[in-house]
Amino acid sequence: MIHFVLLISRQGKVRLTKWYSPYSQKERTKVIRELSGLILTRGPKLCNFVEWRGLRVVYKRYASLYFCMCIDEDDNELEILEIIHHYVEVLDRYFGSVCELDLIYNFHKAYFILDELLIAGELQEPSKRTVARLVAAQDSLVETAKEQTSSITNIIAQAAK
């Protein structure tokens, strides 16, 4: 099972955290600090897995963002690598060529998407199309409930198409 998902920028800034196993706020800070020290310093040719406190952390770098998932020792690391890629692809479809900025300002959206992909630390939906459809369905309901958006948001919305 996946214990947590972390998105960390190359500078060590946290972009998203999702904890599927219980960690106190203090532990979380410590985990993030330890892992960013461990992962950000690794060279590009090395393998995408790190052993950490008896668990495995699988990470993958996309542009300046590191996607990390922490798993049990007997899980399939390559599968997790693929799940990360899966998530990035869904994000990409959703935001339209996703970049780090999208995630910085819309982190809650990234959370919603993650919730459709993973649940309780397991992959719940292997089909990208289904995930995209579900998120879109939720968003369209949200759209109708939304008040008239400001002009600036419209501009941005068009840009993001």
Partner 1 sequence: MGSQGGFYQSKEFLDLVKSIGEARSKAEEDRIVLNEIETLKRRISEPDIPKRKMKEYIIRLVYIEMLGHDASFGYIHAVKMTHDDSLLVKRTGYLAVTLFLNEDHDLIILIVNTIQKDLKSDNYLVVCAALNAVCKLINEETIPAVLPQVMELLAHPKEAVRKKAIMALHRFYQKSPSSVSHLVSNFRKRLCDNDPGVMGATLCPLFELIARDVNSYKDLVINFVSILKQVAERRLSKAYDCHQMPAPFIQIKLLKILALLGSGDKQASENMYTVVGDIFRKCDSSSNIGNAVLYECICCVSSIYPNPKLLESAADVISRFLKSDSHNLKYMGIDALGRLIKISPEIAEQHQLAVIDCLEDPDDTLKRKTFELLYKMTKSTNVEVIVDRMIDYMISISDNHYKTEIASRCVELAEQFAPSNQWFIQTMNRVFEHAGDLVNIKVAHSLMRLIAEGFGEDDDNADSKLRSSAVESYLRILGEPKLPSVFLQVICWVLGEYGTADGMFSASDITGKLCDVAEAYSNDETVKAYATTALMKIYAFEIAAHRKVDMLPECQSLMEELLASHSTDLQQRAYELQAVIGLDAHAVECIMPSDASCEDIEVDRDLSFLNDYIQEAIEKGAQPYIPESERSGMLNISNFRNQDHHEASSHGLRFEAYELPKPAVQSRIPQALIASTEIVPVPEPMYPRESYQTTMPSIPSDAGSAELKLRLEGVQKKWGRPTYTPATSTSNSTSQKTVNGTSQGDGASTVSSMRETYDSRKPQVEVSHEKQKLAASLFGGSSKTEKRPATGHKAAKASSHMVEKSHVPKSSMEVASDKAASAQQPPDLLDLGEPTATSTALQLDPFKQLEGLLDTTEVASAVNGAPAASISPDIMALYVDTAAGIHNKNDADLLSGLSNPSVTNMPGTTAMPQVTQSSSKRPNPKDSLEKDALVRQMGVNPSSQNPNLFKDLLG
Q: Are 4 and 21 in contact (CB under 8 A)?
A: yes
Cα–Cα distances in Å, from 45 out to 11, 38, 41, 49, 123? 19, 15, 12, 12, 28
Minimum distance from CB of 90 to partner 1 (Å)?
10
Q: Are 66 and 40 in contact (CB under 8 A)?
A: yes
Minimum distance from CB of 92 to partner 1 (Å)?
5
Determine which helix (DSSP H) or strand (DSSP E) holds 136, and give its type and residue range: helix 128-145
**Which tokens go with 28?**
């979380």
Minimum distance from CB of 141 to partner 1 (Å)?
5
Contact between 48 and partner 1 by CB under 8 A: the answer reads yes
Which residue lies nearer to partner 1 by CB, 40 or 159?
Answer: 159
**Interaction residues for partner 1, span 84-113 (CB under 8 A):** 85-86, 88-89, 91-102, 104-109, 111-112
**Interaction residues for partner 1, span 52-71 (CB under 8 A):** 52-54, 60, 62-65
